[in-house]
């Protein structure tokens, strides 16, 4: 009888956010301003490839080669049904729904069938992504967010570690950054299995699959090493933490200039070349700190549920460190963070404060792009202050997250 009531509560708990999800996404779907969309670029890639051109040689691409599949599929479908933009948005909506379902699964990890907490996670995800409606379906970052959630789900709930590693590799062939998560996954896997041979075998198998995929993709598209050179040469992007410091200095009279390079607006002054190089060092040290404190937190813990909570929390912290300390900080990067932020809210002692900080971060990010973006490029004071406030919030959230890994000793962090 109790199981029946619990099951009914779970169904009721998922029905309300699902209906809200559908309603909000219909509004999102129809409200995007194409002036701020990247779909025109994706359409160009798709049509060029379908016409027989070779990516990376006949035209430049800044993304890893697997990303092109996300453009080619709606490109083919749009030749027979609808237009490219609509088909691409439907493709992203499918991954968005996948994120919602995985959040529901992962949110129950700590507290079983407690519907109230699962509902909080789902609602927070819907709110955060709804605020970012200009981005969620007109960029492809939703696919990466889904793959990261899938990897965590396979590792923590299904215990399918090979599949989890492969999901990370696939995400890395779409956007390079997911490789930073392998140390966390390997640490968690080692803690659970306590069998080094098993960890090596499963990870090794995933590496072989990844190598095979890279060879196959490279055979089709040719040399794509230009992707690494492209991102290596990028400067300080105008929305980054370093740019916020430079922009504040410009208000005090230090000369600064904003130029459009490498597909984005970048800021230059006497310090930014140094900061562009130093950003990698700052980011590397912060990630090493996350890896170390996660390892220290779980090495002697016997509470599997608490370890899973720390694992999810540590993944979010690593991604926050990467986003905050990166020389490039585009607004769509937050799409990778929103699902994990919603799940972590389940583990918080004060979930409403945590949720409020993230909602405010999303609002300020939306205010920057697209609504005050031109003002930011013109280096107007109001836009600079909005950017500074948003980046302070991101730094605060990263600090809170790292502090939780270092000092938390309970299931609720």
Are residues 186 and 199 in contact, defined by beta-carbon separation less than 8 angstroms?
Answer: yes
Q: Which neighbouring-strand residues pair with 267?
A: 236, 258
Between CA 186 and CA 189, with CA 187 as vertex, the angle to 5 degrees is 60
| 316-357 per-position pLDDT tens digit | 999 999 999 999 999 999 999 999 999 998 887 788 899 999
Residue found under tokens 């994120």: 99
Q: Please return the burial class of 197, using the count of CB atoms within 10 Å of its CB with bins 0-12, 13-18 and 19+.
A: exposed
DSSP state, residue 45: H
Nearest CA among 186, 190, 149 for reference residue 167: 149
| Digitized pLDDT (tens) for each residue of the chain, 413 residues in all | 334 434 554 555 678 888 899 999 998 888 888 888 999 999 999 999 999 999 999 999 999 999 999 999 999 999 998 899 999 999 999 999 999 999 988 987 655 546 777 888 999 999 999 999 999 999 999 999 999 999 999 999 999 999 999 999 999 999 999 999 999 999 999 998 878 899 999 999 999 999 999 999 999 898 899 999 888 888 899 999 999 999 998 888 888 889 888 778 999 876 777 888 889 999 999 999 999 999 998 987 878 888 888 999 999 999 999 999 999 999 999 999 999 999 998 887 788 899 999 999 999 999 999 999 999 999 999 999 999 999 999 999 999 999 988 876 544 45
pTM of the prediction?
0.93
Query: Which sequence spans correspond to the domains of the chain?
Result: 2-407
**Helix, strand or coil for residue 379?**
coil
Rounded Cα gap, residues 325 and 284, in angstroms = 9
Are residues 227 and 62 in contact, defined by beta-carbon separation less than 8 angstroms?
Answer: yes
Are residues 14 and 122 in contact, defined by beta-carbon separation less than 8 angstroms?
Answer: yes
| 286-314 per-position pLDDT tens digit | 999 999 999 998 987 878 888 888 999 99
Straight-line distance from the first to the last Cα atom of the chain, in angstroms, rounded to the nearest whole number = 32
DSSP string covering 267-333, please?
Answer: EESSSHHHHHHHHHHHHHHHHHHHHHHHHHHHSS---HHHHHHHHHHHHHHHHHHHHHHSS---GGG
C-alpha distances out from residue 372 to 170, 278, 322, 376, 385, Å = 34, 28, 24, 6, 11
Residue 189 has a CB neighbour count (10 Å cut-off) of 20
């Amino acid at each position: 009888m109790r199981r029946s009531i619990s099951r009914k509560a779970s169904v009721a708990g998922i029905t309300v956010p699902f209906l809200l999800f559908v309603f909000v996404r219909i509004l999102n779907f129809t409200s995007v301003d194409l002036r701020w969309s990247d779909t025109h670029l994706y359409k160009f890639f798709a049509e060029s490839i379908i016409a027989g051109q070779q990516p990376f040689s006949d035209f430049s691409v800044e993304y890893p080669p697997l990303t092109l599949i996300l453009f080619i599929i709606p490109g083919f479908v749009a030749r027979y049904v609808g237009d490219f933009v609509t088909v691409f948005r439907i493709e992203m909506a499918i991954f968005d729904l996948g994120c919602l379902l995985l959040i529901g699964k992962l949110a129950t990890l700590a507290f079983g069938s407690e519907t109230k907490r699962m509902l909080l996670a789902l609602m927070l995800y819907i709110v955060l992504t709804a605020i970012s409606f200009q981005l969620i379906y007109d960029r492809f970052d939703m696919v990466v967010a889904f793959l990261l959630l899938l990897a965590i789900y396979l590792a923590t709930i299904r215990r399918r570690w090979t599949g989890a590693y492969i999901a990370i590799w696939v995400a890395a062939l779409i956007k390079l950054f997911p490789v930073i998560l392998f140390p966390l996954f390997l640490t968690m896997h080692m803690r659970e299995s306590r069998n080094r041979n098993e960890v090596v075998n499963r990870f090794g198998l995933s590496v072989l699959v990844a190598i095979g995929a890279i060879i196959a993709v490279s055979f089709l598209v040719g040399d794509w090493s230009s992707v690494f050179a492209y991102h290596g040469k990028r400067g300080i992007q105008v929305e980054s933490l370093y740019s916020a410091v430079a922009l504040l200095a410009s208000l005090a009279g230090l000369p600064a200039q904003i130029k459009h390079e490498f597909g984005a607006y970048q800021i230059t002054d006497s310090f930014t070349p140094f900061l562009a190089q130093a950003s990698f060092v700052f980011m590397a040290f912060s990630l090493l700190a996350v890896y170390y404190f996660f390892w220290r937190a779980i090495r002697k813990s016997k509470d599997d549920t608490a370890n899973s909570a720390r694992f999810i929390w540590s993944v979010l912290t690593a991604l926050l460190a990467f986003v905050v300390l990166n020389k490039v900080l585009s607004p769509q990067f937050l799409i990778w963070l929103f699902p994990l932020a919603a799940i972590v809210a389940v583990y918080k002692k004060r979930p409403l404060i945590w949720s409020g900080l993230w909602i405010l971060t999303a609002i300020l990010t939306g205010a920057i792009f697209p609504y005050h973006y031109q003002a930011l490029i013109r280096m107007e004071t109001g836009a600079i202050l909005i950017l500074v406030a948003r980046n302070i919030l991101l730094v605060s959230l990263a600090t809170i997250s790292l502090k939780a890994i270092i000092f938390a000793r309970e299931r609720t962090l």
